[in-house]
Amino acid sequence: MKKIAVLSGDGIGPEVMREALKVLSAAEKKYNLSFSYAYADVGGIAFDKHNTALPQETITICEEADAVLFGSVGGPKWDHLPVEQKIERVALLGLRKYFGFFANLRPAVVLKPLCSISPLRGEIVKEGFNFLIVRELTGDAYFGKKYSDANQASDEMLYTRLEVERIARVAFETARKRKKKVTCVDKANVLTSSIFFRKIVMETALQFPDVVLDFIYIDNATMQIIARPQSFDVIVTTNLFGDILSDEAAQLTGSIGLAPSASLNEKGFGLYEPMGGSAPDIAGKNIANPIAQILSAALMLRYSFAQEKAAQAIEGAVLRVLEQGYRTKDIMQKGCKEVGTKEMGTLIASGL
Ligand code: IPM
Ligand code: MN
- Sorted by where each starts, the structural domains of the chain and their CATH numbers stand as 1-101+259-352 (3.40.718.10), 119-252 (3.40.718.10)
* Centroid of ligand 1 to alpha carbon of 267 (angstroms): 22
Task: Say if ligand 1 is within 6 A of residue 88 CB.
Answer: yes
> Is 243 a pocket residue for ligand 1 (Cβ < 6 Å)?
yes
pLDDT at residue 127, rounded to an integer: 84
Residue from 10, 41, 142, 272 carrying the catalytic annotation: 142
Kindly state if the Cβ of 92 falls inside 6 Å of ligand 1: yes
List residues, by chain if needed, whose CB lies under 5 Å from ion ligand 2: 243
Of all atoms in ligand 1, which is nearest to the CA of residue 246? 10
For residue 32, the CA-to-ligand 2 centroid distance in Å is 35
Is the whole model's pTM more than 0.95, yes or no?
A: yes
Query: Closest ligand 1 atom, CA of 247?
Result: 10
Residue 242 Cα, ligand 2 centroid: separation in angstroms?
Answer: 8
The catalytic position among 49, 219, 309, 337 is 219
Please identify every stretch of the chain with a pLDDT value under 50, giving residue numbers as ranges.
Answer: none
HEC secondary structure over the chain: CEEEEEEEECCCHHHHHHHHHHHHHHHHHHHCCCEEEEECCCCHHHHHHHCCCCCHHHHHHHHCCCEEEEEECCCHHHCCCCHHHCHHHHHHHHHHHHHCCCEEEEEEECCHHHHHHCCCCHHHHCCCCEEEEEEECCCHHHCCCEEECCCCEEECCCCCHHHHHHHHHHHHHHHHCCCCEEEEEECCCCCHHHHHHHHHHHHHHCCCCCCEEEEEEHHHHHHHHHHCHHHCCEEEECHHHHHHHHHHHHHHCCCHHHCEEEEECCCCCEEEEECCCCCHHHCCCCCCCCHHHHHHHHHHHHHCCCCHHHHHHHHHHHHHHHHCCEECHHHCCCCCEECCHHHHHHHHHHHC
